[in-house]
Amino acid sequence: MKIPNKLKIAGHVYKVKLTHINALDSGDNYGTCDVPKQIICLNETNSNTRMRETLLHEILHAIDIEFGLGLNEQIVNTLGLEFHRIISENKLDFLS
């Protein structure tokens, strides 16, 4: 999967940036989602699989906040990991 430079989520265009994320600044070192600024940042040092998984995780955070779902981090982690696994293991390509 190619990492896009922008995504539409809940009718808003989010920029997707590859950057260095300091673990001390964000609490982790994989990615962040800033809904008010509509920016998803992915740590440029992530492996390819971690990059894809983190993108799904941050998309789930954006959906959660945009729609006020109130998902906790454990649910977002679980859904992100499992969506990534299902898509990867089954070689799903939704554009074909």
Q: How far apart are CA 31 and CA 39, in angstroms?
A: 11
How many other CB atoms are there within 10 angstroms of residue 66's CB atom? 15
The whole model's pTM is what?
0.90
**d(C-alpha 36, C-alpha 28), whole Å:** 20
Q: Flag whether pLDDT at 72 surpasses 90.
A: yes
Is residue 13 predicted with pLDDT exceeding 80? yes
- Domain locations along the chain: 6-89
Q: What percent of the chain has pLDDT over 70?
A: 92
Residue with tokens 């430079």: 5
**Mean pLDDT to the nearest integer, 36-65:** 96
